[in-house]
């Protein structure tokens, strides 16, 4: 329906599968069946489109994570909610997290888009930190040192898992996610 939304959806997919620098207005044109000029009407420049994708992606991910916390107070169920989001990306095959994609092309992505994806990374890590703190407080999760450091590790590992999984198979990626969980199990 909404053209703008359609464009954003496909652009997001292209960024997740090909990356920001490797996707073009032509790709969008092919997929949507309208000309490049029409797409420029909705998003005058690629940088503006990139920013819009990032903002939409930020909203989607943060809202889903918020939903996870509203759905349960249990730290393990909350962590599973996060892992579930990663798994759903892995399942699509060919895709990785858009935030991870932008981080890996950091030097060639427009600044406003970068900033938004950095914001998202910080948000996710803060969210995980929160889960880890309540898990430790409840005595159901165990890990060394600062919860923020552990949360950053989990975030980095999850990004790496998606990238690795696309190349070597979803099974490997799931194995990594499973290992993250095992390492948090209280003894």
Partner DNA sequence: GTCTATAAATGGATAGAC
Partner DNA sequence: GTCTATCCATTTATAGAC
Binding interface with a second copy (CB under 8 A):
17-19, 21-22, 94, 96, 100-101, 103-108, 114, 118, 121-122, 143-145, 149-150, 152-153, 155-161, 163-164, 166-168, 172, 175-176, 178-180, 182-183, 185, 187
The verdict on 38 binding DNA (CB under 7 A) reads yes
Joined together, the tokens standing for residue 57 give 């992606």
Residues 184/142, Cβ–Cβ less than 8 Å: yes
The backbone torsions φ and ψ at residue 93, rounded to the nearest 5 degrees and listed phi first, read: 60, 145
Other residues' Cβ atoms within 10 Å of the Cβ of residue 144 = 6
> In whole angstroms, how close is the CB of 25 to a second copy at the nearest point?
16
To the nearest whole angstrom, how small is the minimum distance from the Cβ of residue 36 to DNA?
5
- Kindly tell me which of 15 and 154 has the beta carbon lying closer to DNA: 15
User: Between 13 and 42, whose beta carbon lies closer to a second copy?
Assistant: 13
Write the DSSP assignment of 105-171 as a string of letters.
TGGGS-HHHHHHHHHHHHHHHHHHHHHHHHHHHTTSB--SS-HHHHHHHHHHHHHHHHHHHHHH-HH
Judged by CB under 7 A, does residue 108 bind DNA?
no
Residue 35, both tokens: 């000309």
List contacts with DNA (CB under 7 A).
Answer: 3-4, 23-27, 33-38, 40-42, 44-47
């Amino acid at each position: 329906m909404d053209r703008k939304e359609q464009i954003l959806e496909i652009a997001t997919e292209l960024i997740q599968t090909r990356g920001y620098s490797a996707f073009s207005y032509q790709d969008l044109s092919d997929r949507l069946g309208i000309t490049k000029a029409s797409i420029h009407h909705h998003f005058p420049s690629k940088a503006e489109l990139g920013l819009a994708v990032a903002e939409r992606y930020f909203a989607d991910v943060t809202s889903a994570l918020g939903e996870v916390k509203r759905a349960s107070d249990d730290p393990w169920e909350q962590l599973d909610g996060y892992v579930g989001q990663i798994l759903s990306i892995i399942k699509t095959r060919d895709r990785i997290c858009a935030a991870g994609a932008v981080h890996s092309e950091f030097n060639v992505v427009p600044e406003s888009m970068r900033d938004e994806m950095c914001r998202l990374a910080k948000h996710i890590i803060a969210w995980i930190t929160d889960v880890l703190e309540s898990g430790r407080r409840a005595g159901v999760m165990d890990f060394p040192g600062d919860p923020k450091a552990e949360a950053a590790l989990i975030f980095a590992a999850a990004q790496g898992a998606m990238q690795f999984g696309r190349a070597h198979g979803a099974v490997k990626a799931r194995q990594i996610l499973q290992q993250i969980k095992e390492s948090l199990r209280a003894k």
